[in-house]
Amino acid sequence: MGRLSSWVVGLTLVTCGVQAQTPVADDPLLGNNVTASASGGNEARGVLRARDQAVLASELAGRIVELPFSEGESFKKGDTLARFDCSAYQAQLNAAQAASRGASEELAHNRQLAELKSVGRFEVSRAEARVSEAQAQSQVYQVQVKRCSVIAPFDGQVVARKVQRYESVAAGAPLLDVVDNRTLEIHLLVPSRWMDRLKPGQPFTFVPDETGKPLQATVKRLGARIDEGSQTLLLVASVPDASGLLSGMSGTARFAEPK
């Protein structure tokens, strides 16, 4: 019985050791690239990624009253992608602007009295301080009112709506996931031993799995660090014509045979 227990314990330790030595590819690009590199000396797997993409978040807490764009719809830079109920902030801004006008009138009046020697310099300085305070308060509420609208930072499309109209959200809550599919780049993980044969401006062919049509791409830049575990290096390439392509497409890059 004791010999059987020792055998089971030994088998368990060997199994755990094998599992501990098995690498886990958290990045799908890394996992695909390692497989492709092992099978072909001039091929590497990669994905299309957009240079301009973002998850837009709320800068203030409030209730959404306008969310005009749905998933897949296109928008232009400067369009309003989301708008909050801003009545409270607008009222505070109006009050601050009125206070600023009143402080300015008081300062002008005190300056006239100072010229007539009816008030001293202290009253004029205090009126100037009240004007500065009222103007600063007005600027604060102007910023708050401006944050009531989420403006598109670039031309693009809506990938996903994280919230819905009439919902109340907290400050910092994600609202929209947006992307510009016209600014696509190819991200590859190539073997680090390819460093000497890859240079910026070098052409190669990339075939997306979804279309099967070869694309002529150009090496744009190489990564700044080699991954120690997989011995791979990031390569970013430009695509001259991204029409008909979407961010997230994967494919195979084929490089010319080294001379």
Same domain for 43 and 152, yes or no, is: no
Whether residues 152 and 41 share a domain: the answer is: no
Whether residue 71 is found in the same domain as residue 116: no
- Look at residues 190, 204, 192 and name the one whose alpha carbon lies nearest to residue 257: 204
Altogether, the residues listed in the chain come to a count of: 259
The pLDDT of residue 168 is: 93
Do 30 and 104 belong to one domain?
no
Domain holding 117: CATH number?
A: 1.10.287.470
- 174-179 sheet: strands from edge to edge: 53-57, 174-179, 156-161, 74-75
For residues 79 and 154, state if they share a domain.
yes
Check if the beta carbon of residue 110 is closer than 8 Å to that of residue 119: yes
pLDDT at 111 > cutoff 60: yes
Q: Are 43 and 136 contained in the same domain?
A: no
Q: Give the pLDDT of residue 207.
A: 94
pLDDT at 89 over 50: yes
In a domain, 154, yes or no: yes
Domain containing 160: what range? 54-85+148-179
Q: What is the CATH number of the domain that holds 193?
A: 2.40.30.170
The tens digit of pLDDT for each residue in 199-215 reads 999 999 999 999 999 99
pLDDT tens digits for 45-65? 999 999 999 999 999 899 999
Q: What is the pLDDT of residue 5?
A: 46
**pLDDT for res 237:** 95
pLDDT class of 128 with cuts at 50, 70, 90 = confident
Asked if the structure places residue 5 within a domain, the reply is: no
Distance CA 40, CA 25 (A): 19
Same structural domain for residues 209 and 230? yes
Average pLDDT of the residues of the chain = 83
Label residue 113 by pLDDT band (50, 70, 90): confident
pLDDT at 201: 93
CB atoms within 10 A of CB 180: 21
pLDDT given at position 19: 40
Percent of the chain with pLDDT over 70: 83
Task: Answer whether residue 16 shows pLDDT above 80.
Answer: no
| Strands (DSSP E) found in the chain | 43-50, 53-57, 62-66, 74-75, 80-84, 149-151, 156-161, 168-169, 174-179, 184-191, 203-208, 215-227, 232-238, 250-254
pTM: 0.69
**Does pLDDT of 192 surpass 60?**
yes
| Residue at 6 is within a domain | no
Identify whether the C-beta of residue 230 lies closer than 8 Å to the C-beta of residue 190. no
162 φ/ψ angles, rounded to the nearest 5 degrees: -85, -15
Check residue 1 and give its pLDDT: 47
pLDDT at 217 over 80: yes
Residues 101 and 86 sit within 8 Å (Cβ to Cβ): no
CA atoms within 13 A on the CB side of 27: 15
For residue 259, the model assigns a pLDDT of: 65
Q: Is the pLDDT of residue 91 over 80?
A: yes
